Amino acid sequence: MNQSNPRRPKRGSYQPKPETVALLKVSGNPINGLGETIPRRASAFFWHPPDQHPYGELQIVARQSSRKCPGAGAAFQAAYNYPELIPVADVRNEAPAEQLAAEATSFTLSHQADAVGITSMDPLYVFEGYTISEPWVIVLALAHNYERLKEVPSDETNGVGVCDVGDQYARGTRASYALTNWIRSQGYNANPYPGPMASALLLIPPAIASGLGELGKHGSLISRQFGSGVRLAGVTTDMPLVPTKPDRFGADEFCKTCQACTNACPPRAISEQKQMVRGVERWYVDFDKCIPYFAESASCGICIAECPWTRPTARPKLLATMASRR
Ligand code: B12
Ligand code: SF4
Ligand code: SF4
């Protein structure tokens, strides 16, 4: 744990405020399908419209706690500054799928995204109650600035970490809207899913399928290029494309013995063992333990900042170690 960061509670000392606990009216773990053995779509809850799930008031508290940090209001305002979408052009670019995939990738990388993956749509990527008709998902990765991210959690005295979160969401908004409009200009339908709200598309599963990284013990994606310090955005489309391959570089294996995030998480929300969730055995974060601290501490983010893969100086050594073990 980063003991020099005065905003982080010492291990084991965090207790949620009674008014926060009072807003956690039902457990989120059954909603997430913890213990369920049959695959199903994820239920829409946090970061969906606050009147449509049991944590609406807690969501408002979480938003307020991040917006009171210096600079965060403007940073998130930029993330919600959605550009206008153009209509789909009448004339189609009839190039082969390989060429269209290469052009879409190069367009995205030259419009603020740091990495791109492509995968075919799976109904399990779409939240229950939503519909997406396009057969392809393009996932965009937006890297955090490590020096800024490691300042989390933020509060009224220091908003550096949460501002970097807002800034990367804003890049995701600009990049995903630019790509959507480019695809539409080529005569194909496309829709952007940039966040910060959850919207219809679950982002980590298509990101893993398209090779942007592996799932870490802390429940976030770990990328070979950026570690855990990375935001995601999506674009769905009916433009013919070619999928990119999954990337296994040893992150899942490394998590089996590393405890950096479990030790750093103030409410001890990160499970040591994989668990069965909606029919898949995988790493899982206890929602009920995470959410009070998340809501009180400007969206926390300690787990992704403390993950050794996120440190630019550590990443090459970890990659080499894991490659030598395979
Ligand atoms: C709701 C939400 C939250 C909620 C609830 C999360 C939860 N797990 O219950 C709260 C507010 C607690 C939260 C916290 C955080 N979040 Co959040 N969150 C989302 C959001 C909007 C929807 C995800 C969701 O509904 N999860 C609920 C269910 C589905 O969770 P789950 O079953 O445990 O599955 C999780 C993973 O295992 C994976 N997953 C889901 N299905 C499957 C299937 C398979 C086979 C696998 C391998 C993985 C997998 O995705 C889920 C991510 O929560 C996504 C954006 C999006 N549209 O996807 C961002 C997102 C997942 N969050 C993100 C981040 C970074 C965080 C935080 C670190 C906060 C921060 N400051 O950035 C913490 C991490 C703590 C945690 N618990 O995960 C990033 C992750 C980026 C990355 N590197 O992977 C995302 C993608 C936002 C973005 N646009 O970049 N988050
Ligand atoms: S975001 Fe949640 S899981 Fe991650 S360190 Fe904070 S409280 Fe723990
Ligand atoms: S901190 Fe360690 S255990 Fe946690 S996700 Fe990163 S590598 Fe895995």
For a mutational test of ligand 1's pocket, the pick from 46, 114, 230, i.e. the residue with the most ligand atoms closer than 8 A to its C-beta, is 46
Q: Is the pTM of this model over 0.95?
A: yes
Tokens of 216: 């870490």
Residues with CB under 6 A from ligand 1: 28, 32, 42, 46-47, 165, 195, 198, 201-205, 208, 215, 219-221, 228, 230-232, 277, 280, 282, 284-285, 287, 290-291, 294, 299-301, 303-304
In whole angstroms, what is the distance from residue 223 CA to residue 269 CA? 22
CB atoms within 10 A of CB 83: 13
User: Which residues have CB under 6 Å of ligand 2?
Assistant: 218, 265, 267, 269-270, 285, 290, 293-294, 300-303
Position 1 scores a pLDDT of 45
Measured CA angle at 248 (ends 254, 149), to 5 deg: 60
**How far, in Å, is the centroid of ligand 1 from the Cα of 243?**
23
Q: Ligand 1 center to residue 90 CA distance, Å? A: 37
Contact predicate 41/123, CB 8 Å: yes
Ligand 2 atom 7: residue of nearest CA: 290
- Residue 11 backbone zone (phi > 0: left; psi -120 to 50: alpha; other: beta): beta
Torsion of CA 302, 223, 104, 149, to 10 degrees: 30
Closest C-alpha to ligand 3, atom 8: 255
pLDDT values of the chain reduced to their tens digit, one per residue, 326 residues: 455 899 999 877 899 999 999 999 999 999 999 999 999 999 999 999 999 999 999 999 999 999 999 999 999 999 999 999 999 999 999 999 999 999 999 999 999 999 999 999 999 999 999 999 999 999 999 999 999 999 999 999 999 999 999 999 999 999 999 999 999 999 999 999 999 999 999 999 999 999 999 999 999 999 999 999 999 999 999 999 999 999 999 999 999 999 999 999 999 999 999 999 999 999 999 999 999 999 999 999 999 999 999 999 999 999 999 999 98
User: What's the gap in Å between 257 CA and the centre of ligand 3?
Assistant: 9
What is the pLDDT, as a whole number, of residue 3? Answer: 54
57 Cβ partners below 8 Å, 6+ apart?
23, 50
Quick one: the chain helix, strand, coil %, rounded to 5?
35, 15, 50
Q: Are 148 and 163 in contact (CB under 8 A)?
A: yes
Q: Which of 130, 165, 199, 220 to mutate to test the pocket of ligand 1 (most atoms within 8 A of CB)?
A: 220
